[in-house]
């Protein structure tokens, strides 16, 4: 992916509204920045308003990255670009801006908890699926070995031998 990312960064070098960059999340200020934005695995691609970055889930080849960047890396509706918002988003932003810090923090904390709960629920379900898969795989392997040990191969060899004798007659 690194060559595709570097090519994308070069293609957008000097762009008026889009920045393509990378951060070393393993040391120094990069580590803190990545932690702040919820980067847990590498490579992780984030995009959007710096105060509310979103995860990129698309393709990792240059063509996919470039298409996404061309369609999405532009000024978007946000508190700093409210003129780009439709009436519904403007109203939502104004509602949040009218809240005091404590109320806004509580809403954010609640939504963060919902997100964390969804992740936890997913991870627990995947763990159960993995355990089920491993059990099924073990059962299947045992059954297949039992079938093999029961003489299936020998039965097939006998059948082929009998068939060959019939054909010779």
Residue 155 lies in a domain: yes
Which of 8-22, 43-57, 85-99, 154-168 holds the top average pLDDT?
85-99
Model-level pTM? 0.56
Residue 27: strand, helix, or coil: coil
Report how many domains make up the chain.
2
Residue 70 lies in a domain: yes
107 and 148 assigned to the same domain: yes
Residue 81 lies in a domain: no
Measured CA to CA, the distance from residue 40 to residue 55 in angstroms comes to 11
Q: Omega before 113 cis (within 30°)?
A: no
Residue 90 lies in a domain: no
Q: Provide the b/e sequence for 101-124 (b: ≥16 CB within 10 Å).
A: eeeeeeeeeeeeeeeeeeeeeeee
Domain with residue 55: its CATH number is 3.40.30.10
pLDDT tens-place string over residues 21-74: 888 888 888 888 888 888 887 788 888 877 778 888 899 999 999 998 988 888
168 and 105 assigned to the same domain: yes
Average pLDDT, the chain: 90
For residue 134, the 8-state DSSP code is H
54 and 104 assigned to the same domain: no
Residues of the domain holding 55: 2-76
Boundary of a domain, candidates 41, 76, 111: 76
Distance between terminal CA atoms of the chain?
A: 64
72 and 112 assigned to the same domain: no
62 and 103 assigned to the same domain: no
Residue 14 lies in a domain: yes
Concatenate the DSSP letters of all residues of 37-61 into one string: TT--SSS--EES-TTS-EE--S--S
Measured CA to CA, the distance from residue 7 to residue 65 in angstroms comes to 10
Measured CA to CA, the distance from residue 113 to residue 107 in angstroms comes to 10
Cα distances from 55 to residues 16, 23, 39, in angstroms, run 22, 15, 9
């Amino acid at each position: 992916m690194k060559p595709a990312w570097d090519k994308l960064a070069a293609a957008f070098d000097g762009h008026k509204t889009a920045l393509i960059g990378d951060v070393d999340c393993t040391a120094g200020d990069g580590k803190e920045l990545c932690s702040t934005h919820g980067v847990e695995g590498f490579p992780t691609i984030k995009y959007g308003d710096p105060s509310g970055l979103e995860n990129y889930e698309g393709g990792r080849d240059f063509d996919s990255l470039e298409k996404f960047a061309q369609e999405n890396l532009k000024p978007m509706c946000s508190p700093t670009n409210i003129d780009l918002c439709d009436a519904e988003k403007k109203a939502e932003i104004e509602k949040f801006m009218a809240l005091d810090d404590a109320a806004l923090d509580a809403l954010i904390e609640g939504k963060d908890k919902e997100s964390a709960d969804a992740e936890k629920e997913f991870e627990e379900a995947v763990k159960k699926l993995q355990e089920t898969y491993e059990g099924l795989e073990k059962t299947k392997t045992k059954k297949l070995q039992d079938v093999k040990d029961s003489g299936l191969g020998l039965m097939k060899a006998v059948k082929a031998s009998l068939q060959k004798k019939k054909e010779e007659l």
